[in-house]
Amino acid sequence: MAEVAPVVLLVEDEPQMRRFLRAALEGNGYRLIESTTARDGLAQAAGRNPDAILLDLGLPDGDGIEVARRIREWGTTPIVVISARGKEQDKIAALDAGADDYLTKPFGVGELLARLRVALRRATRSADGQATPVFTVGDLTVDLVARRVRLGDTEVHLTPTEYKLLTTLVRYAGRVVTHRQLLKEVWGPNAIEHTHYLRVYMTHLRHKVEHDATRPRYLLTEPGVGYRLQTE
Amino acid sequence: MDNRPSPEALLQRLREEEARAARGRLKIFFGASPGVGKTYAMLEEARAKRREGVDVIVGVVETHGRAETTALLDGFEVVPRKQIDYRGVALEEFDADAVITRRPTLVLVDELAHTNAPGSRHAKRWQDVEDLLAAGISVYTTLNVQHLESLNDIVAQITGVHVRETVPDSLLDEADEVELADLSADDLLKRMSEGKVYVPDQAARAIQEFFRKGNLIALRELALRQTAERVDAQMRGYMREHGIREIWSAADRILVCIGPNPLGARLIRAAKRMVGGLKCDWEVLFVEAPGLRISASDRAALVENLQLAQQLGAKTVTLSGLNAAEEVLAYARANNVTKIIVGKPTHPAWRDMLFGSMLDQLVRGSGDVDVYVMTGDVEPSVRARGPRVDRGAWAPVGHYVWSTLAVVFCAAINLAVFRFLTLTDVAMVFLLVVAVVGSRYERGPTIVASFLGIALFDFFFVPPRFTFAVSDVSYILTFGVMLVIALLISGLTLRIRAQAETARVRERRTAALYAMTRELAAVRGEAEIVTTASRHMRSTFGTPVQILVPSDDRRLEVPVGTPLAYPIDDKEQSVAAWVAERQHIAGAGTDTLPAAQGLYLPLVAATGLVGVLGVRPSDPKQFQDPVALQLLETFASQAALALERAMLADRAQREAVAVEAERLRTSLLSSLSHDMRTPLGAITGAVSSVLEDKGTLSEATRRDLLKTALEEAQRMNRLIANLLDMIRVESGALEVQKEWLPLEEPLGVALIRLEDRLREHPVSVQLPPELPAVPLDEVLIEQVFINLLENAIKYTPAGTPIDVSAVMQDGTVRVDVADRGPGLRPGDEGRIFDKFYRAPASSAASGVGLGLTICRGIVTAHGGRIWAENRPGGGAVFRFTLPASPPPGVGEAPA
């Protein structure tokens, strides 16, 4: 973590939620800018240059998804959506609009902090302009330079498609990657309707890199939305 | 003497008043002839109404350039005329729809008897006026006496001018007010000479003829009498309303018999005048003899007459039978007819002597029914007593050949054995042959056979033989007897055959109707009834049949799940809508909207309109035939009854569902208040303890309290999620988004979600590697796994294992979630999936009892089945199936 406390812009109209988030974030070394409307949120995002944005969707003067889309028109500040809307379509819409992650209310502090960390790390990394050459989580090691995957001490043999799927997830490690996005990046833009390709290869991949494919530790399913590669 | 009106009479009065309140009021300015000042009087009164603040507009007023009338029009809002394009010519017509849209209180519509331009919705303006009244708009209109349907003939007789534009009498009868615009004949003639009466140039001569003083006086008398009769009727109405007994018993029922010829119209009009005096129900009857050929022009006249009768307010009936008198009497007895009206016979008297008189038969058989014989018609129903079966038709040539051969053969045999026979025997043999031919073939071959027989008999056998000369005059008699017998036999045969034909036609119709009724009784549901009825009608009438039913928003629609018989475009739709609204037949072959492709009948049952029947005959005249139309109506009424039954059943079911839903809502509310308050109580308690702590709680206790609060909050969150799922399942809003997915995925997510709570229960998963991907909704099936696992956690002791397995079985994938708990109590297997059902032993277990219900909803939506049973060796097993289908080839996936 950077020495300077990261600045988080919170766009949320519920006073109770703001109170809880203020306590949780400030207690964990973040500085907070608060905003209660979509219009003000956009202005603050542009004017105060926060390190990350926590964005509620149901705002009194507009939809948070629109705010995310507008911010993405000019900036790459990580956006974590926090919303009471739990339907998969809402999540996909928010992610498609450019949000980095999605948390459904109610959520615990631990989960919020973890997602925020992932978002900030990605921002730092893309600012540095270089990806980590070796990705490690638990027993799983993915060496992007040597194109090698290891589970503990054992070398895992992957087909080219499986490898491409894994490295795509590595690139977005910690974030939800939607089915569409994965299909587009691994199989190309013509394949985005063919989710069963993805399902089948994901099952193969899990059988190779997970200790128990029915209880995956690394390659997590976000039901109805996509997949996430665990980072911690 | 009880003078109070009977309850029925009161009810009737109430209904009439109600109908009248919703309808607009009709006032007719009635006059004896053009020029008496009807339009003027109407405009005067309209001005007075406007001064009173009534919203009056002018729909259509013909000023004919008269200055005084035009002046009265000044200041009125006039509805623009509608442009109707008729074969390239733009015609202007009164726009009734514009008036209905504008919704004034009162509209002026001049010249009620006007005939609309072709292509308008209705053929006649008075039909437009009916629409306006039905829409609740009051109408002022004008009418001349010669345009009144029942007076049409009389006016023609007086003036010598036959008026084509007529208005049904019922319109005048039902008008709320009739005002007579009266002017003496001298004054009218004076006005005419001053040029104040409109006379079209082209008809000037005829009009001059019309406006003779004698005519005008007679017409004025007619108009005055008509108005006086109305006043009389009003008086009777008043008497009825106030419980004063009428002199005439209302039980009178009159039956008018007409035949297929133009004179029937006069009989109908005469009967109407008689009926008008009696104020009773009347019916017009036509007996069609099967096999009897009616010429096209007679048929057209008959259809017109029956339509005329309907316009005059009669019910029309067509019967089919050989003996007209018997049919009429049978109908009269069955329908409590008190008077029968027939026309005077016009055929020569000898026919009655020879064949019997229908009139005579009618009078003799009438019993206590009065029979009135009126001028104006030939003998009703059938002109000759015996049916003339296909007399004009030619018999097949074969029949002539065979009959000729038979006679020649007979002559040959006779020649061979002549020496053993007397001449009388030979004559008998010839007679036999002619009789046989007569009994088998038509009249033509029979006549040929008898003449040939006579000729051969004469030539070969009657002395002097081998000449046609006859020595003894008595042989002429033999010839005559042979001929008469042959004709009589063939006549009899033909009658028997005709009767058989009648019976067959009747049988076929009855059988067709019976077949439909029987099948309709067996089918359930609107779509099936519509399909069945349409199929039967199509096979009976040979035309496409389309039944439309009103949807929830009252629009007529092709019922879901039935094929479309013919395209229903906006135009057809609007005709059907009109039929539904007015519950009156319209479309091709009728007076209303005749330009439509289809003919539309309302399907009316006891509770009102249940749909509209459309047929699209290739020949629009097909259903102008009263017999065909009547049969169609019979079919329609059967279909309507069946549809009503389906709709009532549907409604009853919906009501039952609503009651059940209400009951559930109540139990849900009480259950909810309990299940929501319990965790809230725990949270409030725990948090307030920590907040109000004055340093007495240990750090461990504080943490414990806060942990309780968190757990209870999570429990509430699960409860709310369950409720939301339930609402989705219940409301039918459950959208299943299937994709081919290995079962591992949803199961894996469920296992990870429940990780903390599964700590006490070892879970083993057995998914065979060959298990195919199954089309399923990831999120929903994950929910099923979560609910089933939670259920196992809740109802089984800690430490007992849970086994999840799946097998492929007959094209479905069966998933088992098995535990080693106490198992199911007998009888629980079926009930545990019911809403709010909780096994009694588990009162401690949390939850509303929705989890398994949600599972059932989700599995059912996937086309699968879910059930529970006791597991061999102890415990319960919950099984569900999902239909499997081969996934699209993965091999095609570019690697």
pTM of the model: 0.44
**Encoding tokens for residue B288?**
């069609």
Higher pLDDT, A128 or B178: B178
**B interface mutation test: which of A161, A165, A199 has the most B CBs within 10 A?**
A199
pLDDT of residue B806: 93
Give the position of tokens 């009853």.
Answer: B652
Q: Which of B744, B765, B782 sits opposite A223 (nearest CB)?
A: B782
Alpha-carbon distance A160 to nearest alpha carbon in chain B (angstroms): 7
- In this complex, how many residue pairs, one in chain A and one in chain B, have their CB atoms less than 8 Å apart? 70
**A interface mutation test: which of B779, B784, B785, B804 has the most A CBs within 10 A?**
B779
Q: Does A105 touch chain B (CB under 8 A)?
A: no
In whole angstroms, how far apart are CA A106 and each of A67, A103, B710, B713, B880? 22, 8, 11, 9, 31
Alpha-carbon distance B689 to nearest alpha carbon in chain A (angstroms): 19
Are B739 and A194 in contact (CB < 8 Å)? no
The answer to whether B486 and B478 are in contact (CB under 8 A) is no
Q: What residues of A are in contact with residue B888 (Cβ under 8 Å)?
A: 194, 196
In whole angstroms, how far apart are CA B196 and each of B35, B188, B189, B711? 7, 9, 10, 100
pLDDT of residue B241: 62
The answer to whether B28 and B143 are in contact (CB under 8 A) is yes
Q: Does A131 touch chain B (CB under 8 A)?
A: no
Are A223 and B765 in contact (CB < 8 Å)? no
Helices (H), B796-889: 828-831, 851-861
Are B742 and A199 in contact (CB < 8 Å)? yes
Q: What residues of B are in contact with residue A161 (Cβ under 8 Å)?
A: 893, 895
Are B767 and A214 in contact (CB < 8 Å)? yes
pLDDT at A156 over 50: yes
The answer to whether A226 and A99 are in contact (CB under 8 A) is no
Give the position of tokens 């009897």.
Answer: B292
Q: Which of B745, B747, B893 sits opposite A194 (nearest CB)?
A: B893
State the ipTM, two decimals: 0.80
Q: Which of A88, A194, A213 sits opposite B744 (nearest CB)?
A: A213
Mean pLDDT, chain B cut into blocks of 10 residues (895 residues total): 59 68 85 83 88 88 77 84 77 85 89 83 86 88 85 75 79 82 81 69 60 77 76 65 48 80 77 72 79 68 80 78 81 82 77 74 84 62 39 68 89 86 83 82 82 86 80 79 80 78 77 84 84 88 88 80 82 87 84 84 86 87 78 87 86 82 72 77 87 84 89 85 79 78 88 87 89 86 90 88 91 91 80 70 56 86 89 90 74 43
Band (A135; pLDDT cuts 50, 70, 90): confident
Could you tell me which chain B residue has the CA closest to the CA of A226? Answer: B778
pLDDT of residue B103: 87
pLDDT of residue B891: 46
Query: Residues, chain A, total?
Result: 232
| Each residue's pLDDT tens digit, B295-349 | 767 777 787 788 788 777 788 877 777 778 888 888 888 777 888 888 877 777 7
Q: Which of B710, B749, B890 sits opposite A223 (nearest CB)?
A: B749
pLDDT at A10 over 90: yes
Alpha-carbon distance A184 to nearest alpha carbon in chain B (angstroms): 12
Band (A35; pLDDT cuts 50, 70, 90): very high
How far is the C-alpha of B489 from the C-alpha of B434, rounded, in Å? 9
Are A223 and B890 in contact (CB < 8 Å)? no
Cα torsion B157, B162, B166, B170 to 10°: value is 10
Strand partners, B27: B140, B177
A39 conformational bin, left if phi > 0, alpha if psi -120 to 50, beta if neither: alpha
**Encoding tokens for residue A136?**
């490690």
Are A196 and B773 in contact (CB < 8 Å)? yes
pLDDT of residue B446: 83
Are A214 and B749 in contact (CB < 8 Å)? no
pLDDT of residue B620: 77
Q: What residues of B are in contact with residue A214 (Cβ under 8 Å)?
A: 744, 747-748, 751, 765, 767
pLDDT of residue B844: 45
From the list B327, B378, B296, the residue with the least C-alpha distance to B624 is: B296
Q: Which helix (H) or strand (E) holds B382?
A: none
pLDDT of residue B382: 39
Q: Which helix (H) or strand (E) holds B414?
A: helix B397-416
The answer to whether B274 and B268 are in contact (CB under 8 A) is no
How far is the C-alpha of A32 from the C-alpha of B729, rounded, in Å? 42
Q: What residues of B are in contact with residue A213 (Cβ under 8 Å)?
A: 744, 748
**A interface mutation test: which of B745, B752, B767, B786 has the most A CBs within 10 A?**
B745
pLDDT of residue B618: 83
DSSP notation for B254-277: EEEE--SSTTHHHHHHHHHHHHHH
Query: Residues, chain B, total?
Result: 895
The answer to whether B277 and B228 are in contact (CB under 8 A) is no
pLDDT of residue B848: 60
Alpha-carbon distance B890 to nearest alpha carbon in chain A (angstroms): 6
How far is the C-alpha of B438 from the C-alpha of B488, rounded, in Å? 8
For residue B542, give the DSSP letter: -
Q: How many CB atoms lie within 10 A of CB A112?
A: 20
Are A224 and B778 in contact (CB < 8 Å)? yes
Q: Does A24 touch chain B (CB under 8 A)?
A: no
The answer to whether B553 and B574 are in contact (CB under 8 A) is no
Are A196 and B717 in contact (CB < 8 Å)? no
Pairing mode, if any, of strands A219-222 and A226-229? antiparallel
pLDDT of residue B818: 93
Band (A53; pLDDT cuts 50, 70, 90): very high
Q: What residues of A are in contact with residue B712 (Cβ under 8 Å)?
A: none
Higher pLDDT, B654 or A162: A162
How far is the C-alpha of B739 from the C-alpha of A200, rounded, in Å? 11
Q: Does A159 touch chain B (CB under 8 A)?
A: yes
Q: What residues of B are in contact with residue A106 (Cβ under 8 Å)?
A: 713-714, 717
pLDDT at A123 over 80: no
pLDDT of residue B515: 84
From the list A220, A12, A219, the residue with the least C-alpha distance to A105 is: A12
**Encoding tokens for residue A184?**
């587009």
Q: Does A110 touch chain B (CB under 8 A)?
A: no
